[in-house]
Structure 1
Amino acid sequence: MINETEIANNNDDFTRRRFIYKLSAAVGAGLIMTSPLMSSAASFIKVNGDYTVQQIIDLFIKDVPGGALKETVDTLKAGDPNMKVTGIVTTMFATIPVIRSAADLGFNFIIAHEPTFYNHTDDTQWLQDDDVYQYKEMLLKDNKIAIWRNHDYIHRMVPDGVTSGVLAQLEWQKYSDKTMPNVLTLQPSYLKEVIAHLKLKLNLEKVRYVGDPNQVIKHALFIPGAAGGRMQIGAISKYKPDLLIVGEISEWETAEYVRDARAKGDRVSLIVLGHIASEEAGSVFMLNWLKQKVPGIKVTHIPCGNSLSFM
């Protein structure tokens, strides 16, 4: 690290307005957010005795500002909401290996952050004759496993559960802005040092980047997942960071914008972690929530791993 006074305070108290919500308003109209923040406080209801799948879901929703959503992708993708929970697996994607591992453990409830059936809404009508879909559906039915997607709700936590989980894994909470947790004031470091830190803490083999490895990085934006090119570009345009760290991109959007910005003379770099790497720690956040709220239930986190390999 560059030997310069560290410019950050330990920020345990975050605002009730998420960065992405404020960013979408700042960048402009036309950006559709799947998880806007509601500011009302949530309460926790303790359930005595055994827990059902639906009771676990309801407990989490009670902890989310604004409560239940009328429109959400966070629905039950498989299983019976009234069945007794024997154990819970948290994961990013409920892949076939994750389902098999849950069955081997005797756990019958999987809480996944992303879709189970290859599209955002988990629409399966177009997959009815597909043998991969049929195999996966039968595997779930045979093992009586329920899957609930927790995407919109965990992003509505205050602060955002996914961002909190990733910043904790990176040990970057102290660099996070009080009002916008995704805005980071890092200890000044070279881009190559930031990349090395990300790879170490997130267990990554490689990352993609645009920029000069010897550029000094101080101000960074972290936007996990797949926020889209318009939001990512809008964030660069408004906040003028030294570095944008994202989950995934459309290569013809954000990467090309950063390339042109650098050619123009702007000091901005881009790091693309991959979608799973940028949000995996959110499932660990979910695991820790379960341990705290339902200590009588057996829980574990099973990483789904990256679907892509590197040569």
Structure 2
Amino acid sequence: MTPLPTVQTVIDALTANRHTALPEPTVDQLLIGDPGTPVTGIVTTFMPTLSVVQQARSLGANLVIGHEGLFFSHHERSEESPEGEIERMKRQQLEASDVAVFRLHDSIHRYCPDGITEGLVAKLGWSGYVREYRAESCLLDIPSASLREIATEIKTRLGLPYITISGHPEAVFSRVGLLAGYRGGGTLTIPLLESKEADLIVYGEGPEWETPEYVREAMRFGRHCGLIALGHAASEEPGMERLAEALSVLFPHIPVHYLQEEPSIRIL
């Protein structure tokens, strides 16, 4: 009988593929649990909520790999900062669940190509259109279509109730700059538009006063450009779903699942 991998064995496999150094400090860490625990099953997810952890336990999985943090901030609370009431209650329930939680954020973004971006490209059906993968973006040449048509196709592919756009809905685009997660700031997107490496930006999220405002003013000067904003979770969930597929190959003797939480933000 094949021995079960430990939590640390899985963590080592997850962090072995990165091609550049991690930031200091990194947010990748075991947030709950013991690294020596044998793993009976794995769940990957974008947001490791209490609900996801409880579902993991019901599936017989005792390791959850989440992309974002547990306690409502990108960085963990420092020892000098007081613990909030909701954080304390959540932590106590997680510790009682006997499910380990590892955050995989910095490493997967440093795979080559970026594991989150690659998952989004695949989910969109755009793998065959990639011109170039960069550290924080992917440049693609997709079949020409209107902004409305591209946005509608994206909604269908990702199963989204809505997305937001900037630009003329009937304008036709083919050169896409894709940026998953919180990479929609002007310092990353505007150079792609200025250089004409892309005429359509598709990103997760970013400040509304940067890229959207650039697109609006550029159009008034007769420049051809557009923007589609997916939402942070929607842009990164496909990468964690794809990770589950990769882990199934690495650890074929234990079940691996992908779980998706309900959206936390809705439109009335």
What TM-score, normalized by structure 1, do the two folds share? 0.80
Q: Secondary structure at the match of 2:144?
A: strand
Partner residue of 2:163 out of 196, 201, 207: 207
Matches within 5 A, 1:8-87: 49-66=3-20, 71-87=25-41
Letter in 2 for 1:109: L
In the TM superposition, residue 125 of structure 1 has moved relative to its aligned partner by 4.4
Partner of 2:267: 310
| Deviating more after overlay: 70-79 vs 146-155 | 70-79
How far apart are the structure 2 equivalents of 1:63 and 1:191?
36
1:245 aligns with 2:202: yes
Give the counterpart letter for 1:247 in structure 2.
G
Q: Given the alignment of the two structures, is residue 134 of structure 1 paired with residue 88 of structure 2, yes or no?
A: yes
Alpha-carbon separation, structure 1, partners of 2:116 and 2:168: 29
One-letter identity of the residue aligned with 2:238: A
Query: Residues 61 and 68 of structure 1 are in contact (CA less than 8 Å); yes or no, is this contact kept in structure 2?
Result: no
Q: Is the 8 A contact 1:77 1:122 kept in 2?
A: no
User: Which is further off, 141-150 or 267-276?
Assistant: 141-150
Query: Deviations 1:18-46 (Å, cap 9, x if unpaired)?
Result: xxxxxxxxxxxxxxxxxxxxxxxxxxxxx
- Conserved? CA contact 1:79–1:140, under 8 Å: no
Q: Distance in 2 between matches of 1:126 and 1:196?
A: 47
Change (3 A) 1:234 1:66: closer
1:169 to 2:123 alignment:
yes
Does residue 151 of structure 2 align to residue 195 of structure 1?
yes
RMSD: 1.9
TM-score by length of 2: 0.92
Q: Does 1:149 align with 2:103?
A: yes
Q: How far apart in 2 are the matches of 1:126 and 1:191? A: 49
Q: Closer, same or farther in 2 for the Cα pair 1:212/1:66, shift >3 Å?
A: closer
Residue 98 of structure 1, CA deviation: 0.8
Are the aligned partners of 2:204 and 2:233 in contact in 1 as well (CA < 8 Å)? yes
Q: Which amino acid aligns with 1:226?
A: Y
Report the CA distance between 1:121 and its aligned residue.
1.4
Once residues 66 and 83 of structure 2 are traced to their aligned partners in structure 1, the CA distance between those partners, rounded to angstroms, is: 24
Cα separation, partners in 2 of 1:245 and 1:108, compared to 1, 3 Å = same
Structure 2 gaps of 5+ residues are none
* Deviates further, 69-78 or 222-231: 69-78
> Could you say if the C-alpha distance between residues 174 and 195 of structure 1 is closer, same or farther in structure 2, counting changes exceeding 3 Å?
same
Secondary structure of 1:252's aligned partner? coil
1:123 paired residue number: 77
Corresponding residue for residue 138 of structure 2: 182
Query: Counterpart of 2:165 in 1: which secondary structure?
Result: strand
Q: Distance in 2 between matches of 1:108 and 1:179?
A: 34
> Counting strand residues as a fraction of each chain, which structure ranks higher?
2
For residues 50 and 224 of structure 1, what CA distance do their matches in structure 2 show? 34
Instruction: Flag the 1:67–1:294 CA change in 2: closer, same or farther, 3 A.
Output: farther
Q: Residues of 1 paired with 2:153 and 2:46: CA distance?
A: 22
Q: Distance in 2 between matches of 1:135 and 1:104?
A: 21
Task: Write out per-residue CA displacement over residues 197-235 of structure 1, whole angstroms, 9 at most, x where no aligned residue.
Answer: 100000011111111111011111100100233222233
